[in-house]
Chain A
Amino acid sequence: MILKTLSLQNFMPYKGQTSLNFPTEKDRNVMLVYGDNMRGKTSLLNGIRWAFYGNALGRHSRPIPLLDLINKEAASEGDWSMEACITFEADGHNYELRRRAKRRPLVTTPSRSEDFEVLRALSKDGIPLGDHLIDAEINRYAPEQISRFFLFDGELLQEYESLLIDGSEQGKKIKDAIEQVLGVPTLIRGRDDAQTILKAAQKLQSVDLQRLGGFEIQAQKQKTLQAQIEALEEDVARLNGNLKRTKEERLVLEDFLEKTESVYQAKERLNAAQKLEQANSERQTALSIERLGLIKDAWRELIRPSITLKRNEIYAQHDALTGQLLDRNKIETKISQLREALKTDTCQTCGQALHQEQKDVASNELSALENELKNLSFDMTAMQRLSSQIQSLDKLLKPSEAARIEFIDRDLARLRIEQTKHDNEIESLTDLIKGQDTAEISRKRNLRDGLLKEETRIEEDIKKSQYAIDKDRNDLAIIGKALENNPQARAARSSKVVNISSALERVYTRSIDRLREDLKTKVESLASEAFKKLTTQVKYSGLRINSNYGLTILDEHNQEVTIRSAGAEQIVALSLIDGLAHAGRSPGPVVMDTPFGRLDPKHRANILTYLPSTAQQLVLFVHEGEVNKTTDMRQISQKIGCVYEIKEVNPRHSKIDRVTQ
């Protein structure tokens, strides 16, 4: 299949008519469309997808509602029609596929996708085909199930990394999609049909065995097991339905939460800032109260130096008076001793009798001392006054904690600065979430968490039911085996049908396993070939596929390389896609949106050299950061058929200009 033209009218940012011509020359089969982010590269990819299959995909491969596909500016001007038309050539025939959406009659302003009617038309060599033939014709050349391998965006490449994670939900989805491409579901459906026939036959067999007599117990057991299996299968179907609904509901919430994540984060930060602000405020209040308490005693600190000086002065006076008192006491003691010596004529020190000469000396000394004592005055009142003053001043000088005021002031200053920061943050965050229903976001978040738990619970229930089904089936098989050995039971017609359908089911089951193994080998080989062309590490020998279709790089000794860079992941994913595209269909165009995000120039060069040689057409929607207009283009200049550039007219309107003829 070769794409020829794409025409869009009012499709996403492409207001009015927009047309592209794909390169049709075999040797110049590369088309480059440059566009900055948010200009409409993915919209072009969606234009092709919508033309073929009537759906457009947004983030996480989720469908974009029809209402959101119509150009907003055209709609605001009253033009509610949209069209995508693609022409292509396949097996020597020329096709024109046109899909158009327009406002239903009686609807003035559409507000939901149902307000539109969608019409489609496919002509083959100019002859219109009936609507019932369109899907079959499209699926001949571009089956929708495998479209993700030839119409893909950069986001998809990242999804492929999850194939290496056992049990990941995304990995399971991609594995299903891969098996869809490879045709495995056809056999799975065959096995399911064989199981249905087997079930019906086993029912008949039970009835027959009851009629034959002697097999009542086995027949009853069979019947019970069949009823149990049916009930369990109904349970599983119901649970799968619930699981699907729960997942869908959760994904809608995830979308909403993703969009409002910044608001939620802002609200969380606001709550944290408010808590900090409150704690700060409480601390300030506590410190202020403590400070006020300390100020009560601050006057003591102010006069402490003066009072200390005064106290020292009084102490000195007090000391002087004490000295006087001591001197007086000494004289009084001496007088008392002299008087006693003169009275007893005995020395008070050695106890010997005093001679007259000694008595005279003592008498003279006594007179002199008595005179000295008379002249020594002592002010006892002053002494008491000074003692009292010292006591009062000591009371004034008792230690106070007013000096702590300085530390408190420092703390308060720091807290006020912090408070200003908190206040500013609170103000800006409040502005940020103004008008947003943060309570609703929290509610939906809780709801999402609840749904996640619900999903786990349902999955557990499904596992349990599946286990019970397997056990019952096993028990049924044991009964069947026992009956096979009994000639009478074996002779019953229904038993023969059971045997045949059971054998058929086994054949299908084994075929599924074998097909999976064969396909994996094929994909592994094709992907390895592509990988060797794409990687810049010459020592890598290829890729090894796992049960999920995840690929691991092998080194020169065929050992798995456990750590790989983001760029290597992308190369591996591209290799897998290339392998799948070749294993699942005949060669055709490959349209890639922003595929080179994490790749270095050498890898880009390898891809730009390799892909044009394996795909019939290579259409790349890129921004200048991905593919350099001079250096990268040089690699494939011979291969480039045409180059377009997306230009912004305004945020709701883009246009495409052809750069090369």
Chain B
Amino acid sequence: MFEWFSMAAWSPYIAGAGIGILIWTVFLLSDHPLGCSTGFSHTAGMVQCGISGNRAREMPYYRKFIPCIDWYWMLIIGVVIGAFLSSFLSGTLTIVTVPPIFAAAFGPDVVLRFAVALLGGILIGLGARWAGGCTSGHGISGTLQLSLASWVAAICFFAGGILVAGLLFGFRFP
């Protein structure tokens, strides 16, 4: 049993099937989908409320999605811990600043990588709330409910991603 937990990687089909089963339990016990961008939005709201108090609390978006520590916020903390445990148990935990594919294309400059990551993150935060979900909320939880908006969103995530990755790194397929 422990050998399983210390394996560097599982078959992607097994990992995926596990995520599918996890989502059954979330619908059963919490009566909502599993999505990651809501937790980031709550963090943004709580920081803004910390800075400007009532003015932030009364923003129309935060009246709709009330920033607080709830299931979705705890989910993100859990994901950090779960991935840490997995990589720690398999001995693959390493501090990385510039990932290999990025370094091969643009050099090992940490400042450049962090600037690109920050810009990418901003677009993701903006786009996820704009589209009403991210790769987990729309891409997995929504598509498996056969939600029309989620299928369209998932196709657009990958269409935009494939286009921009191709422009950055050169189109490599086939």
Chains A and B bind each other: no
Chain B positions near chain A (C-beta within 8 angstroms):
none
Chain A positions near chain B (C-beta within 8 angstroms):
none
